Structures are given as C-alpha cells and as structure tokens.
Amino acid sequence: MCDETTAAADEASLAAKGLTRREFAALGAAAALAGYTANFEAFAADRPLRERMVEIRTPDGTADAFFVHPARGRHPGVLLWPDALGLRDAKKAMARRLAAAGYAVLVVNPYYRTQRAPLAMDFAAFRTPEGRAKFAPMMAGVQPGVERDAVAFIAFLDIQAAVDKRRGIGTQGYCMGGPFTVRTAAAVPGRIRAAASFHGGGLVTDKPESPHQLLARTQASYLIAVAKNDDEKAPTEKDTFRAAAAAAGRPAEIEVYAADHGWCVPDSPSYHQAEADRAWGRLLALYSKL
C-alpha cells in the first residue's frame, strides 16, 4: 500500500532516526544494509553459501533471478517475491540470511518482461508522486502473469540439486509481492506448503480473483504480517482474510505489527529492526513445517 500515507510514515520514521529523506538517500543502499548484514554474517560463516544470477524461461519470456543456498546438502526451496523496487542488493541480502538458515532461495525480478534488475530507483524517489506514477504501469503489468510465473519459478526450484523435493516449498512476499504468495500457493498447490506476506497490499479486494478468495484452492499455511498504518487505513481487511482462511480450513497467523509499511526491508526508510526480527522469527517458525 504505497501512497501518500506511506510516504508520511517514512518521513516520521526517518525523523525518529535523526535523518531527513535527503540524508537517507545520500547514505545509499550499502550503508543502509551494513547493519542488517552484520546481524547474520557470523552465522553464515559457519554455513558457506553458493549464489548466482540465473535465467528462467517462462511463457512470457526469460526472467532474471538470484538463487542462493547452502553450499552442501539439499534444502527446502523458497520463492521470494520482492516489493515494488524489485530485485536488488537488499533482497539479495535478505535471501542470503534465509539461505544461511538452511533454505534454497530464489528471488525473482517481477519486471523481467520490460527490464532486467536492478531498477534505477530507490525508496526516496519511489515515494514521490512522480516515482509512484512511473511505477504504477510497471506494477500493473506484472499482475496478469503472476500465476504463469509462479509455475515456472517453482519448476526451476524443483530441478535444482540444492532443493529437497521431499519437502514442501515456501513463498514470501513484500508490499506488492505479498498477495503474490497466495496466488502462487493457488497456482502450485501441490508444492507450496507455507506462504508469508509482509506489509502486503491487495490481499483483500472486491474482485472475484482476490487472494482471499483463492485460499480454498491452496494447501498452505499462512503468515500475514500487517503494517500498523496499513491496518489503520483498512482495518477490516485482516478480519476478512482471517474469516476466509477459516472457511477454507487454512491455518493463518495474522497480526498487526507495531511498525509502518516497509518495516521488514532493510533499505526502506520505515525499516524497524526489532519488529523485523520478530517477523523473521515467525517466518522461520512457519518454514520449520515445510
């Protein structure tokens, strides 16, 4: 839910950190990621990783993606759907952290139909009216092909030597990627066993194919982590999703976190380490059942 409300929350979050939007932009992604990466580097040193950029054939073309996994053994696969800024260093860092915890993680470029990753824009620019106007058609262009993409991406994971096909696959998404996790679970129900949405927008809509209407087609358990400012703007959506999950017989942990939209993403102005770490713990608990 990236709009004026989100932009205002970003300003407040930065002010609490003693930064202006200009100062945050000047720090750059590398500085923003430094503390995040330091949190798991020591652990990752004990579990060497292998990573590479890959290309995946889909019905609509060739998608570029980042694949990282422990150097030894087979592990549950995870499909990570990025937020609106797509595949970039922050998402690679998040994937490495998850891989260090014992997963084979694929982070995709959802905009592959029009351009390769990374996009030439950061959160400071994206949150402006001009930035949102630029991204609106790009994000809309992703929507029609999500299910086709999901099938291709899961098929890629299933032929990798690092992926344990005896285990289920997990999927997680951020912002616009949040609802894509439910759509993935519906597109490949026999493989997706867990789906997590972090500050996802569009989980409940008035359209017949709204993600909450797809839950009965899935076999996954869900973690729906809601930003407090998203909940303030649409307070009934979590209840609608909870009721739909119950009706479909799908386990769903749904919680409003004490942080604003974007809080889980380390290069976001609204990154909130304490709540991000708490969400991380719940994600690992969800994936422990794969």
Q: For 233-264, what is each residue's pLDDT tens digit?
A: 999 999 999 999 999 999 999 999 999 999 99
Q: Which amino acid is at 194?
A: A
Task: Look at residue 201 in the predicted model and tell me its pLDDT.
Answer: 94
* Residue 150 Ramachandran class (φ > 0 left, ψ -120 to 50 alpha, else beta): alpha
Give 90-105 pLDDT, tens digit per residue: 999 999 999 999 999 9
Nearest CA to 2 out of 107, 197, 133 is that of: 133
Is 123's pLDDT higher than 80?
A: no
**Model confidence pLDDT, tens digit, residues 18-31:** 555 554 554 555 66
Those residues with Cβ within 8 angstroms of residue 170's Cβ, 6 or more apart along the chain or in another chain? 76, 77, 78, 79, 103, 192, 193, 194, 195, 196, 286, 287, 290
Enclosing domain of residue 73: 4-287
What is the CATH classification number for the domain harbouring 119? 3.40.50.1820
| Phi and psi torsions of 248, nearest 5° | -85, -5
Quote the pLDDT of residue 41.
61
The number of distinct structural domains making up the chain is 1
pLDDT in tens, 64-77: 999 999 999 999 99
Residue 180 has pLDDT above 90, yes or no: yes
Adjacent-strand bridge partners of 242: none
Q: Could you tell me which of 175, 194, 203, 177 has the C-alpha nearest to residue 268?
A: 175
Which two three-digit tokens encode residue 257? 């976190």
Proportion of the chain above pLDDT 70, given as a percent = 85
Model pLDDT, residue 139: 83
pLDDT of 15 higher than 50 = no
How much is the pLDDT for 24? 54
How is 128-164 classified by DSSP, letter by letter? SHHHHHHHHHHHHHHGGGHHHHHHHHHHHHHT-TTB-
Predicted confidence band of residue 44 (pLDDT cuts 50, 70, 90):
low
